[in-house]
Structure 1
Amino acid sequence: MTYLTYSDTQLEQLDGYWTAREISQQPASWLTAVQNLEQMQAELDEFLKPILSTPNMRIIFTGAGTSAFAGQCVAPLVMKHHNIRAEAIATTDLVSNPHEYFQTDVPTLLVSFARSGNSPESVAAVKIAEQLVTDCYQLALTCNEEGLLAKHCNGNKRKTVLMPTETNDRSFAMTSSFSCMLLSALYLFCPAENFKTQLQQCIDATSSLFNTQVDKLNNLSKQQFKRVVYLGSGIFKGLAQESALKLLELTDGKTLAAFDSPLGFRHGPKTMVDNQTLVVVFIANDSYTRKYDVDLLLELNSDAEAGHVLAITTSTDDIPNLPDSISMVELSQQSDSLLLLPYIACAQMYSFFSAINVGNTPDNPSASGTVNRVVQGVNIHPLK
C-alpha cells in the first residue's frame, strides 16, 4: 500500500506509517462518520431538539489542543444557524478557571471533542460543569469507546457519539480524529438539505488533492522555511490555529508556526514575515469575507517580503498576479463550513512532509519525550 507517495516499507523506516495512513484515510472515514450519524438520527434528534429549543440555552464547545480548535471552527456556524449563544472554550481554561466561564443559572450544553477521552482535563471539565451548572447537558464526540469521557457521558442528560474506529489515531498528531469530530459537529448542529451532496464533493476534491498536490506540498516543505504562518477569517481562523499546531508537533518545534486572521495579521504579527517565512492563506468562499482574504493576499504579494505565499482557495479568478495556489475549482460553490475538510488536509500533508524533510519522525515526533500523545503531568485539584 502507498500513502502520500511512500510505500509501507518506506513509511515504517521513516516512523511515519500511521500519520500518513491516517491523513490519507480521511475521505473514507468522513463518509463512514456520516453514515453512522444517520443510523443514530432518531436518538440524536430526541436528545438535541429539546435542548436546542430551551430558552436561554448556551452551548460551549470544548476540548484541549486540537480538539479545542474543532470547537473554534464550529461555534460561529452554530450561533448563526440556530441564533443561539454558542462559544468555544478550551477544557484547559474551563478546568483552571471554572467560575469565570460557567454560569450557574444558565442552561448549558457542553459539547466535548476528544480523541482518546482520557486527557485529565476532558473528564474534569464535564464533572465541573455538572457541579456548577444547575441545568447541564453533555454531548461527547470522541474516537475511543473505552475512554473515560465516553463512559461518563451516558445516561440522563448525557450522550456519546463515537467516531469511526480507525479515527482513534495511533500516531502522535490528531488528523482523521480532528476532521471526523469536526464533520460530525457540522452534521449535528448545522444540517443542510444537500449536506451529503456537498460532503461527497469535498470527499472527491480531497481524494484528488492526495493525487495532484502531494508533489507541490512536498517540494514546498523541502525549502525548510524557518517560520510558517497560517491565516484564516472566521471559522478558518480556528483551522489556521490547528494547522500551526500540526506543524509544530510534527517538526518537534524545528519549524516555528503561527496563526492569525487576515485582518488581525496587520496589527503587529506581520512583522515576523521575512524571506524565511511561508505564509498560507485560507480563502473563504463567502463573497464578503473573501474580499478581506484577497486584500491581504495581494498585499503580501506586493510587499514581496515573504519567502513564499500560498493561497488555499477554490478559485483564482478574482486574484490577479497570484504566484502560487492550491485551487479546488470544483468547490467554488461550496459553503465555507465543509471547505474546512479539504483545507485542513492540505495543512496536514505539508506538516507531514516538513517533519520528514527536517529529519523528524512523524509518528513519534517528540525527541525529548516531554510531549505525549495523551497529555500527562496534569493534577486536577478539587473544586471548592
Structure 2
Amino acid sequence: TRAFDSMLVLCQMLVSALTCEAGSQHRLDALPDLGRRLIESYGWLAANLGEESLIQRFFFLGNGPRYGLACEAMLKMKEMSLSYSEAYHTLEFRHGPKSMVNEETLVIGLLSDEARTQESAVLAEMKQLGGRTLVLTDGGGAVQLGGADHQVRLESGLPESDRLVLYLPILQLLAYYRGMANGQDPDRPRNLTSVVAL
C-alpha cells in the first residue's frame, strides 16, 4: 500500500521535475494535507461499507490512469480481506461483468473529469440492477451522479494527473475494514510476504 502510493507520487514528482511545469511541485506538496482531509471526512464511510456484511462482492471501475488505481484497489481488497473483487474499465463493465451485480455487490466508480457523465450512467445502471454504488470524484462542476448511494468528493482543485493518489486512501481503508470484519490481519495477508524472492 505504501509502496504503490509512494511510487505513484515519485513518478509524478519526476515528471514535474523533468517538464519544469510551473506550479506542479507546489500542487504535489498539497497532497499530504488533502489526503488527511479525505480520511477525516470519509474514513467513517470506508468503515461502514467495509463492515457491511451484506456486501460480498466489490467491483472497482476506472478509465485511463484510474483503471490502474482500480486494479490496485482490487488487489488490496483481495490481499487484506480475502474478498471477491475485480477491476474493470468502466464502460467495459456494461458487457458481461454486470451479470454479477446484485444486492450483495458494491460497485465503486473512480470518475474522470472528461467522461464523468458516461461513467455515472454506468453506475446508475448498476444501481438499477440492485447493486450499491460508491462514487469517487473531484466534484468540480455540476454532474449527475446517478443517485449514487455514496459519494467521496476529493475536492482537491488539482488537475487530474496530480490528484490520482487521492483516490486511494478511502479505498485502502475500505479493504482494511473489510479485512478486520472478516477476521483477517490486514498487516499480515495470508500466504504473502513483504518481499518476493526470485
**Is the structural similarity TM-score above 0.5?**
yes
* Matched ranges for 1:80-119 at <5 A: none
Q: Deviations over 1:89-118 (max 9, x none)?
A: xxxxxxxxxxxxxxxxxxxxxxxxxxxxxx
* Matched ranges for 1:356-367 at <5 A: 356-366=180-190
Q: 1:348 aligns with which of 168, 172, 186?
A: 172
Please state how far the C-alpha of 1:289 moved relative to its aligned partner.
2.5
* Matched ranges for 1:105-254 at <5 A: 175-189=1-15, 191=19, 192-224=21-53, 225-251=55-81, 253=82
Q: Deviations over 1:238-284 (max 9, x none)?
A: 11001000010001x2x101000111111211111111111110011
Please state how far the C-alpha of 1:291 moved relative to its aligned partner.
2.9
Whole-angstrom CA distance in 2 between matches of 1:189 and 1:314: 22
Whole-angstrom CA distance in 2 between matches of 1:187 and 1:298: 36
Whose RCO is larger (CA < 8 A, sep 6+)? Answer: 2
Runs of 4+ aligned structure 1 residues displaced above 3 Å come to none
Q: 1:339 aligns with which of 160, 163, 176?
A: 163
Percent identical across equivalent pairs?
25
SS in 1 for 2:126: helix
Closer, same or farther in 2 for the Cα pair 1:197/1:347, shift >3 Å? same
- Note the residue ranges of structure 1 that are not aligned, 5 or more in a row: 1-174, 379-384
Q: Deviations over 1:145-188 (max 9, x none)?
A: xxxxxxxxxxxxxxxxxxxxxxxxxxxxxx12111111111222
Letter in 2 for 1:213: Y
Contact 1:298/1:319, CA 8 A, preserved across alignment: no
SS in 2 for 1:213: helix
Letter in 1 for 2:48: N
Please state how far the C-alpha of 1:327 moved relative to its aligned partner.
1.0
The alignment of Structure 1 onto Structure 2 pairs a total of residues equal to 192
Letter in 2 for 1:229: F
Letter in 2 for 1:263: L
Letter in 2 for 1:236: R
SS in 1 for 2:107: strand
Q: CA RMSD in A?
A: 1.8
Q: 1:371 aligns with which of 174, 178, 192?
A: 192
Q: For residue 268 of structure 1, what is the aligned residue in structure 2?
A: 96
Structure 1 residue 290 corresponds to structure 2 residue 116? yes
Whole-angstrom CA distance in 1 between matches of 2:29 and 2:194: 31
- Note the residue ranges of structure 2 that are not aligned, 5 or more in a row: none
Whole-angstrom CA distance in 2 between matches of 1:345 and 1:322: 20
Whole-angstrom CA distance in 1 between matches of 2:112 and 2:31: 15
Letter in 2 for 1:187: M
Q: 1:312 aligns with which of 136, 140, 155?
A: 136
Letter in 2 for 1:372: T
- TM-score, normalization: structure 2? 0.89
Whole-angstrom CA distance in 2 between matches of 1:176 and 1:371: 16
SS in 2 for 1:274: coil
SS in 1 for 2:115: helix
Contact 2:13/2:28, CA 8 A, preserved across alignment: no
Q: Deviations over 1:186-229 (max 9, x none)?
A: 22235432112322333222111221211111011111321100
Whole-angstrom CA distance in 1 between matches of 2:120 and 2:108: 12
SS in 2 for 1:178: helix
- TM-score, normalization: structure 1? 0.47
